[in-house]
Amino acid sequence: MLSRTADHLYWMARYIERAENMARVLDVTDRMSLVANSAYDEAARWKPPVLIADDVAVFERDYGSYTAANVMHYMALDERNPSSIVSALGAARENARAVRVAMSSEMWETVNALWLELRQRIRQGLREADIGEFCDWVKSRSHLFRGVTFGTMLRDDGYKFVRLGSFVERADNTARLLDAKFQLLLPNEDPTAEMDYYEWSSLLRSVSAFEAYQKVYRDTIEPTKVAELLVLRDDMPRSLHACYDELAPILEQLCRQPGCECLRLAGENHARLHFGRINHIFNSGLHEFLQDFIARNNALGIEIQRAFLNSPD
Amino acid sequence: MNTQNIFDEMRAGDGQVRLLYQPFSEWLKGVDHAQLMQKSREAEMLFRRVGITFNVYGEEAGAERLIPFDVIPRILAANEWRQLSAGVIQRVAALNAFLNDLYHDQEIIKAGIVPATILENEMYRPEMQGVDVPGGIYAHIAGIDIVRTAENQFYVLEDNLRTPSGVSYMLENRKMMMRLFPELFRRYAVAPVEHYPQVLLNNLRAVAQPGVHDPVVVLLTPGAYNSAYFEHAFLAQQMGIELVEGQDLFCKDNAVFMRTTEGPKRVDVIYRRIDDDFLDPLAFREDSMLGVPGLVSVYRNGGVTLANAIGAGVADDKSTYTYVPEMVRFYLGEEPILSNVPTYKLEKPDDLKYVLEHLAELVVKEVQGSGGYGMLVGPTASKQQIEEFRARILAEPDNYIAQPTLALSTCPTLVEQGVAPRHVDLRPFVLSGKTVTLVPGGLCRVAMREGSLVVNSSQGGGTKDTWVLNGDKPC
């Protein structure tokens, strides 16, 4: 297929995934702020979403303080913020529009309807009180897009690039989310603190993993198990391992040249997750592990771009 | 203009509904205005969701507008269509013969029928002189604008041989009508148009360079911000071909390739929807970011086919238009089936004098204008507009032609107040490959404002589905 088409499909999927993740983070932060007797003040509570997006300097310059209203606006609606939900969905739609012939018409209509409804919502004005409903809406649209893609798209290379985009982005987002939460929570080490239950469960809920945790561990919520679930468990759909279980075979199908660097990078990352042990990771530092993973995942993204998407003559 | 003499597609002069429209008229009595408006809104919602929009230049970035869709169809009988389609096929055959002649032996100039000054026309491309194109076809896709003034009186208003657009609306309008009013299709035997993309693809494949067995066809678009981008995407999808932008193509070893995830892939036929000027920065406008460097050179050497051919625009120029009936006689030895509108060429002193004296009765057009821009409609223009145009004409008379204001036929159209007559035209799309053909229908454009004769979408005009019936009677 055309390199440019593959590029647009890949980025369309990445942006929709990004919007979904952003909505998850905002939603959970918002719900946590409603829990009484919070151990954190408003600023501590609302900083992590900005931390996750790696946007601290820009945010502080443009908004100053970490109030709920500021962070919500920045993460959901600010068009200057390239990671905001509005920016991500706008970019997804622009990418989709450029290659609407490369997908099923139902996929295109889903992305287009999403965008039209988004504009409608913005025109009507989004109030702080609506943020939960808005995040639910973004998540449900992302689910719908995934379902429509799965249910209607020809299983050609285009489909593979859509999936590739989703998983590269999701792996990045899960790693960032985990890293930010651990940075916020671990210094406050009191395993019996009541608040921790809410904190860890909120993290799990943000990646729809709360029920899964209960099923897998049948235990109180412990940080190492949360990390294990989201890093190493291959049966947890948003875990790093699960993302690479999907990524690696797609790349094997796409890499038709032997010795493809994409395949090597993906295999290397995959092996670390496949054969990793959570106590080893904690011993050498979860934060270091996650930072390293984010860099490796990013390197894979760059290599995918180079190999398939902007191929030189 | 005398409104008494305007031909209405549905009603005869005495107010009687014409035979062809009787079942429709009966049906119309059974639906009230609110129901029709509801259907109209439903259509608008569906068009918007599917993204059947056009971009508007010079407005808010990314502004996408719908072309108003009118739910009342225009109906033509089989015998009317036979005359029309034979006429446009004949005309396009003559225009292709003319282009082939102009870029080779120029017999028509030698015979004194078309003046040699045509070679000074901006749309004439000296780069094409002596180049052989497959089958001698230059206008693979032609949109011929036709208006009706009386029962059997059709006029060709203009020929569009460069990158005519609108065919996607012909197809989408039909789909919409079948969805909104299935009951009407049981009352009328409407000839189908949905196979247009197949005919187009077959024709495009047929004009690959000799020796290419399984030609790769692509559609070249200026990109998502072009006003007709929806149509480009739609046609590529319907034909199952790649929709490419200039940046996706490159030239090497006298061939054109597209960049794919599996490496370069050879392209044989390009249905281009980019104007000549922007095709190749090395040959034409060097500031063009839309084109493919080196394309013209490959094309001239027979490495790729372009549809439409470079330089076809010289034959659809409004000043060339006046010679088309003569071309039909000269190349085909036939009498033209369709009439031209009498045209005054303002480069001629007598014509100029007459036109300046009768500006208020005439339509004046720029020779190379399109989209309804740069024209004066005398009867509806203000005194000030007329005077402004007079000054423009005097400054550059060669740049204008003038025509009498035709009494364009009207067709019932849904407007806020009810169903009212509005002026219409028709653009059938003529395809030239192994044969010259067209599907039974076209883009019917309608001036939504009362009394207006300007049907262009960029000027607020709308569209209608056009029904060509299988017979001369309704059923």
Q: pLDDT value at position A223?
A: 87
Contact B262 A97 (CB under 8 A): no
Nearest CA in chain A to B229: A98
Tell me whether strands B153-160 and B339-340 are parallel, antiparallel or unpaired: parallel
Q: DSSP for B125-138? A: -GGGTT---GGG-S
User: What six digits make up the tokens of A237?
Assistant: 């759909």
Take residue B63 and report the two structure tokens written for it: 């502004």
Which value does ipTM take for this structure? Answer: 0.74
What mean pLDDT value characterizes chain B?
A: 91
Q: What pLDDT sits at residue A208?
A: 87
* Residue B61: band (very low, low, confident or very high) from pLDDT cuts 50, 70, 90: very low
B245 CB neighbours in chain A (<8 A) are: 4
- B52 to chain A, closest Cα gap in Å: 11
- Mean pLDDT split into 10-residue runs, chain A, 313 residues: 94 96 89 69 84 86 91 91 93 92 91 92 84 93 96 95 97 91 66 68 87 89 91 95 96 87 95 95 92 96 89 49
Amino acid identity of residue B404, one-letter, is P
Q: How confident is the model at residue B56 (pLDDT cuts 50, 70, 90)?
A: low
For residue B259, the chain A residues in CB contact (below 8 A) are 2-4, 311, 313
Closest Cα partner for B440 from B91, B22, B80? B80
Q: Which residues contact B404 (CB under 8 A, 6 or more apart)?
A: B341, B342, B361, B362, B363
Distance CA A211, CA A225 (A): 14
- The burial of A284, by beta-carbon neighbours within 10 Å (0-12 exposed, 13-18 middle, 19 or more buried), is given as exposed
Q: Where are the domains of chain B?
A: 341-402
Q: Which of A5, A109, A161 is nearest residue B50 as measured by Cβ atoms?
A: A109
Region B232-252 average pLDDT: 94
Alpha carbons A198 and A34: distance in angstroms, whole number: 11
At residue B160, φ and ψ (nearest 5 deg) are: -115, 110
Q: What is the pLDDT of residue A32?
A: 78
A64, with CB counted inside 10 A (0-12, 13-18, 19+), is: exposed
A1 reaches B (C-beta below 8 A)? yes
- Runs of H (alpha helix) within chain A: 3-32, 42-52, 56-63, 68-72, 85-98, 105-124, 131-152, 157-185, 194-206, 210-217, 223-231, 240-254, 261-274, 278-284, 286-304
Say whether B252 and A313 touch across the interface (CB within 8 A).
yes
Of B224, B247, B250, residue with least CA distance to B51: B224
> Which residues in chain B are closer than 8 Å to A105, comparing Cβ atoms?
50, 237
Confidence (pLDDT) at B49? 82
Query: Who among A113, A157, A313 is closest to B261 (CB)?
Result: A157
Q: Using an 8 Å CB-CB cutoff, list chain B residues near A98.
A: 223-224
Give residue A300's pLDDT. Answer: 96
CB contact under 8 A, B264 and A5: no
Would you state the pLDDT for residue A277? Answer: 95
Q: Report pLDDT digits (tens) over B151-208.
A: 889 999 999 999 999 999 999 999 999 999 999 999 999 999 999 999 999 999 999 9
Specify the pTM.
0.84
Whether CATH 3.30.1490.270 fits B341-402 = yes
Contact B250 A313 (CB under 8 A): yes
What's the pLDDT tens digit per position in B73-103? 999 999 999 999 999 999 999 999 999 999 9
- Closest Cα in chain B to A256: B262
Does the beta-carbon distance from B259 to A313 stay under 8 Å?
Answer: yes
Chain B interface residues (partner A, CB cutoff 8 A)? 48-51, 223-224, 233-234, 236-237, 242-245, 247-248, 250, 252, 258-264
Q: Which amino acid is at A187?
A: P
Helix H or strand E encompassing B27: helix B22-29
B15-42 per-position pLDDT tens digit: 899 999 999 999 999 999 999 999 999 9
Residue A97: which of B48, B224, B259 has the nearest Cβ?
B224
Q: How far is B304 from chain A (nearest CA, A)?
A: 19
Chain B residues near residue A109 by CB distance under 8 angstroms: 49-51
Q: Has residue B235 got a pLDDT over 90? A: yes
